A and B are shown apart, each in its own frame.
Chain A
Amino acid sequence: MRVRFNFALGLVLALLVIAAAISAGWIAPYDPIFDADLMNSEMPPSWAHWLGTDGQGRDVLSRILYGARVSLTVGLVSQLINSCIGTALGVSAGYFGGWWDDLVNGLTNVMLAIPSLVFALAIMAVLGPGLPSLLIALGLTNWSWTCRIARSSTLSLKNQGFVQAARTAGFGDTNIMRTQILPNILGPVLVIATLGIGGAVLAEAALSFLGVGIRPPQPSWGNMLTDARELIRTAPWASIFPGLAIFITVLGFNLLGDGLRDMLDPHMRTRRT
C-alpha cells in the first residue's frame, strides 16, 4: 500500500515538473531574462510576483519555470547517455568475458573511485560552461552502476536455456544480446536511470552553483541559488524557492525509482512491508 502511494506521489511530482518545463513559455508571467526591473528588485512574494523578485528585479517564478527546462534536459539526457554506455559495456563484458571483461571491470572500478562530482568538475573545466558541456560531463561520469548491474545480469542470463536455444537456432552474438538479453535487463537499468535523474539534477545545480555549469543570465536552479546566496539576509525567498524546486524534482524521481524497484523486485517488497 505504502509502496503504491510513494510511487504515485513520485509520478505526480515528476509529471508536474515535466509539465512546468514544457509549458514554461505559456504559463510564465514574465520573461526570465529580459523582464529585469531594478526598481522592483528583492520584492517579497505578492500578487504581481507570486514568488517574489530577485536582486535584479526578475520574477523568481518565471525563472524557476524556465530553469526546469535546463534541469530536466540535463537529468533525462545525461541519464540516457549513462544508461547507453553502461548497458553496452556491461552486456558486452558479461557476454564475451575474457580480456574485454577485465578491461571493463577495471574501468568501472576507476570510475567508482573518482567521485562523479569531482570528475564532472574536471570535464566542465575543460569544456567550459554551458548546457552541451553539462550533458557530456554528467553523461560520461555516472554509468558504473548501470554497467555493474548489466554485467552481472548478463552473466546469469547467458547460460540459460533460451539464450542457448537462440544460439543453436543460428542467432549471431549481436542479435542474441539485442533480442534475448537486453529485454531481460531493461527493468533494473530503468530503475538505476530513474534514480540517476535525481542525482543529475542535483549535480547540475551543484556545478552551476560552483560557477562552471549554466552561465548567467540563462536561468538554472543552481545559478539562481548562487545569485541569491548574497541576498539571503534581505531576500530569502530568492534562495528558498529555487532550492524547493530542486528538492521537489529530485524527490519525485527518487520516489518513482524506489517504486519501480519495489514493483520489479518482489524480494524488496516483502522486506519493506
Chain B
Amino acid sequence: MLRFILRRMLQMIPTLLAVVLIIFVIFSVVPGSFITSLMSEGRNVMNADVLAHLNEQFGLDKPLPVRLWDYLWGLAHFDLGISYRTRSPVWDVIEPRLWPSVKLALAAMGFAAVVGIPLGFLAALKPGSVFDTGTMMMAVSGLSLPEFWFGLLLMYVFALHLGLLPSFGYQAGSIKYIILPAVALGVSPMALLARTTRAGVLDVMNADFVRTARAKGLSEPRLVRTHVTRNVLVLVLTTLGLQVGSLMGQAIVIEKLFSWPGIGSLLVDSVSTRDIPVVQGTVIVIVLWFLVINMLVDVAYAAIDPRIKVT
C-alpha cells in the first residue's frame, strides 16, 4: 500500500511539471507585464532607469529559458518565488487563503453529500414514482444552474429580504458566513451525486447477487443495508472525490461573488494585476489539491472494495 501511494506521488510530478510549463509559457507571451500594468494604473510616466531597475529586480531581463529554469529550481526547493505586488514570498500570500478555500470546498461537499446521496438512494428504491421523477428533474436543473446566479438569488432572499444570514464576507470560526456560498457551490455536485447514486443503486438492485439474496428470503431493509450500500459506495465515493478535487477550481466565481478570501478570488485578482508568480502559485496549489484528492480516492477504493487490488 505504501509503495502504491509513493508511486502515485511520483506520477504527479510530470503532470505538475507540464502544468507549470504551460502556465509559464502562456504568461510569458503576454504582451503586458506587471510593470506595464503598473503604468496603466495612471503612473504612465516612468523613468527608463526605474523601468530597467524593476525589470532587473524581478528577473524579467533574463531570457525565457533561464527564467523557467530559475523557477523550476526554486520549486524543487519548495520556493514559489516572490509576489510582484506585495514583494513577499508567494507562499506567504497563498497560505492565509488556503484554509478558507478548503473549508468552503468541504462545506459545499458536505451539503452535496447530505442532500444528494439520500435523494438518489430513495429515488432508486421507487423507480418511476413521482418522487423519482421529481428528484431527477431537480438533478438535471441543478446541473444546469449558473451557480453565481443561484448564489445571487440566495443572497437576495436570505440576506437582503429575510435578513437571516450575512450577504457576503468571511469570519473565521463563524458558521453564518459559510452557509450561502457553500449551498451555492454545492448545488451542482449535489445534483450529480443524486444522479450517480440513483444509477448505481438501480444497477446493483438488478444484479444477480441481489436476486439471489432476495430469493434466499433476506428482508428488504437488510438487503439494502448489507448488499446494496457497500456496492454503491465505491461509485459514490469516486464521484464525491472527483468533485472535491475540482471544487477548488470551480469556486472562483462563488468566492468572488461572496467576497470569500480564498484561493479562487486570489487567482482572479492576481490575473487582473498580472502578478504572475502568484497566478502560477495558485494554479499549482489548485492542481495539487486535485491530484492529491484523486490519489486519496484511489487509496480509499482498496479499503472499501476487496476486489480492487493495489499494485
Contact = CB atoms under 8 A, between A and B. Distances in A.
Contacts of A114: 19, 22, 249, 283, 286-287
Interface string A205-237: 110011110000000000001000100110010
Contacts of A202: 146
Majority SS of interface residues in chain A? helix
Report which residue of B146, B150, B286 has the largest number of chain A beta carbons within 10 angstroms of its beta carbon.
Answer: B146
Interface in B7-39: 14-15, 18-19, 22-23, 26-27, 29-30
B210 interface: no
A258 interface: yes
A115 B250 contact: yes
B140 interface: yes
Contacts of A246: 146, 149
Contacts of B244: none
A190 B2 CA distance: 42
A126 B27 contact: yes
Majority SS of interface residues in chain B? helix
B246 to A, nearest CB: 6
Categorize the interface residue count of chain B: 35 or more
A239 B252 contact: no
B190 interface: no
B152 A225 contact: yes
Nearest to B127: A273
Report which residue of B27, B149, B287 has the largest number of chain A beta carbons within 10 angstroms of its beta carbon.
Answer: B149
Contacts of B93: none
Contacts of A125: 27, 30, 271-272, 274, 279
A221 B291 CA distance: 33
Nearest to B246: A115
Nearest to B202: A271
Interface stretch (B83-91, B114-122, B153-161, B175-183): B153-161
A240 B128 CA distance: 32
A115 B128 contact: no
B67 interface: no
Given A106-B14, A254-B144, A258-B140, A273 B128 contact: yes
A250 B250 CA distance: 17
B271 A121 contact: yes
B283 A122 contact: yes
Report which residue of A115, A126, A206, A258 has the largest number of chain B beta carbons within 10 angstroms of its beta carbon.
Answer: A115
Contact of B152 (A2, A122, A239): A239
B30 A247 contact: no
Interface string A39-50: 000000000000
A115 B286 CA distance: 8
A225 B22 CA distance: 31
B199 A122 contact: no
A150 interface: no
B64 interface: no
A123 B256 CA distance: 19
B22 A110 contact: yes
Report which residue of A2, A106, A122, A233 has the largest number of chain B beta carbons within 10 angstroms of its beta carbon.
Answer: A122
A122 B252 CA distance: 13
B260 interface: no
A243 B128 CA distance: 31
Contacts of A104: none
A165 interface: no
A198 interface: yes
A240 B153 contact: yes
Contact of A117 (B22, B250, B272): B250
B120 to A, nearest CB: 13
Interface string A240-273: 1011001100110011001000000000000111
Contact of A122 (B23, B133, B156, B290): B23
A123 B26 contact: yes
Contacts of B14: 106
Contacts of A113: 15, 19, 287, 290-291
A212 B272 CA distance: 9
A232 B152 contact: yes
A27 interface: no
A210 B252 contact: yes
A102 to B, nearest CB: 11
B145 A247 contact: yes
A247 B267 CA distance: 26
Contacts of B26: 122-123, 126
B70 interface: no
A165 B127 CA distance: 45
A118 B286 contact: yes
B102 interface: no
A164 interface: no
Contacts of A106: 14-15, 18
B249 A115 contact: yes
A184 interface: no
B249 A117 contact: yes
A236 B283 contact: no
10 contacts: A106-B14, A107-B18, A114-B22, A118-B283, A122-B279, A126-B26, A243-B146, A243-B153, A247-B141, A247-B144
Given A114-B22, A115-B248, A271-B202, 4 more contacts: A106-B15, A115-B290, A211-B272, A251-B141
